[in-house]
Structure 1
Amino acid sequence: MAPPPQPRVCVTGGGGFIASWLVKLLLSRGYAVHATLRDPSDPKNAHLTRLDKAPENLHLFKADVLDYDTLTPAVQGCEGVFHLATPHILNVTMQSTVLDPAVKGTLNILKVSSAAKVQKLVVMSSVAAVDFNPNWPQDKIKDESCWSDKEFCKENGDWYSVAKITAEQIALDYADKNGLNVVTLCPPLVFGPLLQPTVNTSSNFLIYIVKGSVISFLFFALIHLYYKDYHFSDEFSV
């Protein structure tokens, strides 16, 4: 009897902090992984090719979530997609910097996943999409019914949170209307050792604190998460 086909998944933004650990985990679990990168030849992505089982099971695709056509080859043939590619910038004050790319990128990956008949799409949202609601009762647990207040976030110049709220709502609405199996995850700031050679955003928070910098970002007040705990949830969302 022929062995079952190797499960194949796509990870967008594969060179990022969380995504790199996810790629490593998926490879260790026997998955063939398609990782999208803006520039696979960039030295900052070289760590991916050195992961265990990468030579035979990791395939790098030059793609941009803002360009639908570049995503199609990466998602084709995959039974699952992890959408992690999104702008994450400290002190974001311009809508065009983060909101527009996040929304368009999410729509593109939703449409590509539908066209490729993906079995499940995991969208990495953020606790920022649910935690900033000044009108939510303090003694009531925040659950799936709680969303951050967009106007409150806009007034505070927090376009990252606005982007995460909007993108997650679009993903869930698209799933309901088109029958796509979508799971959203809302992690807080994630810390841990780095696989990539560049410092990621959450680690920059620690650097800013050590230097005594003031961070005007609502995210800083949130709970923090160790990277292994987050990838445990990622794995069980496949």
Structure 2
Amino acid sequence: MNGGGQVVCVTGASGYIASWIVKLLLLRGYTVRATVQNPTDTAETEHLLALEGAKERLKLFKADLLEDCSFEQAIEGCDAVFHTASPVKFIVTDPQLWYPLSKTLAENVAWQFAKDNRMDMVVINPGFIIGPLLQPTLNFSVEIIVDIVKGKNPFNCRYYSFVDVRDVALAHVKALESPSANGRYIISGQSVTINHIKETMHELFPNLCIDDPNGEGEMEGINCKMCVDKVKNLGVEFTPLKSSLGDTIISLKEKYLL
């Protein structure tokens, strides 16, 4: 148990990535302070409280990103903080709340804050994330898989890059446990065509009805390759896309989301 005796905070703990981080931390012996918007909402908390080790080493705190000093109680006295709380909004009236920009601005501010306060900070930058869900509700990145099954191409792209949520969670924990971890870590899988994704789904689930939009409105896009050697050096081995897709669809079916 790597984290025996250490107390850590996970913000936005009911979210897709954060729930897996909490699960992994508990399995590794950490005491976890988890922030959620509403601790009395079972949709937010039930899957967290059911995790192995939660009864002994998980405590929930109410916190909201839009409330000043909202996270102080949860963070006070912690050895480390996993700050995963983030609004995911792609249709907005204020451009600075638009997800890609808000994430960039927030990271820039965080780097400056860490520098000014001599804090050790590491950033994990994932691509589109898939894999099994712990939470009972559908999140944005897994919804892409649901859309593809329904014959949609959510971004009208030819190429997509996915990474497994379990790998992303492990990268977060490894970044804490590796003294040499530093800077930014890109974690994303191989770029594949949307047709390859559909073919893989059909191979795994022959009876799954996958509508075909015949490529209408599809942009050519760029088949890019990202260097992920740095995150692999943390000890993260990537889950094959076929396994991730299979586990995602099984999870969606089990939760009646597909």
- State the TM-score bracket (shorter-chain normalisation): 0.5 to 0.7
Gap change, CA 1:217 and 1:24, over 3 Å in 2: farther
Distance 1:87 1:222 in 2: 22
Q: Cα deviations across residues 59-106 of structure 1 (Å, max 9, x unaligned)?
A: 0001112223321110011010000000123x424326xx34xxxxxx
Structure 2 gap segments, 5+ residues each: 177-258
Partner SS for 1:55: helix
Partner SS for 2:56: helix
Aligned positions of 1:12-51 closer than 5 A: 12-44=11-43, 45-51=45-51
* Among 206, 215, 223, the residue aligned to 2:161: 223
Distance 1:21 1:5 in 2: 18
Counterpart of 2:224 in structure 1 is none
Counterpart of 1:197 in structure 2 is 136
Distance 2:64 2:156 in 1: 27
Counterpart of 1:169 in structure 2 is 108
Aligned positions of 1:25-174 closer than 5 A: 25-44=24-43, 45-89=45-89, 91-95=90-94, 99-100=96-97, 159-174=98-113
Partner SS for 1:223: strand
RMSD: 2.1
Q: Cα deviations across residues 109-145 of structure 1 (Å, max 9, x unaligned)?
A: xxxxxxxxxxxxxxxxxxxxxxxxxxxxxxxxxxxxx
Runs of 4+ in 1 over 6 A off after TM superposition: none
Gap change, CA 1:39 and 1:75, over 3 Å in 2: same
Counterpart of 2:222 in structure 1 is none
Counterpart code for 1:38: Q
Distance 2:114 2:75 in 1: 17
The 8 Å contact of residues 10 and 78 in structure 1, kept in 2 or not, is answered as: yes
Counterpart code for 1:227: V
Aligned positions of 1:173-188 closer than 5 A: 173-188=112-127
Structure 1 gap segments, 5+ residues each: 101-158
Partner SS for 2:66: coil
The 8 Å contact of residues 188 and 222 in structure 1, kept in 2 or not, is answered as: no
Counterpart code for 1:62: K
The 8 Å contact of residues 188 and 224 in structure 1, kept in 2 or not, is answered as: yes
Q: Cα deviations across residues 25-82 of structure 1 (Å, max 9, x unaligned)?
A: 0001110000000001112121111111101100000111222332111001101000
TM-score by length of structure 1 reads: 0.67
Identity of aligned residues (%): 39
Partner SS for 2:61: strand
Aligned length: 173
**How far did residue 214 of structure 1 move?**
4.7
Counterpart code for 1:12: T
Pair member with larger Rg = 2
Distance 1:198 1:8 in 2: 28
Counterpart of 1:210 in structure 2 is 149
Counterpart code for 1:192: G
The 8 Å contact of residues 19 and 84 in structure 1, kept in 2 or not, is answered as: yes
The 8 Å contact of residues 13 and 36 in structure 1, kept in 2 or not, is answered as: yes
Counterpart code for 1:228: R
Counterpart code for 2:71: L
**How far did residue 223 of structure 1 move?**
1.6
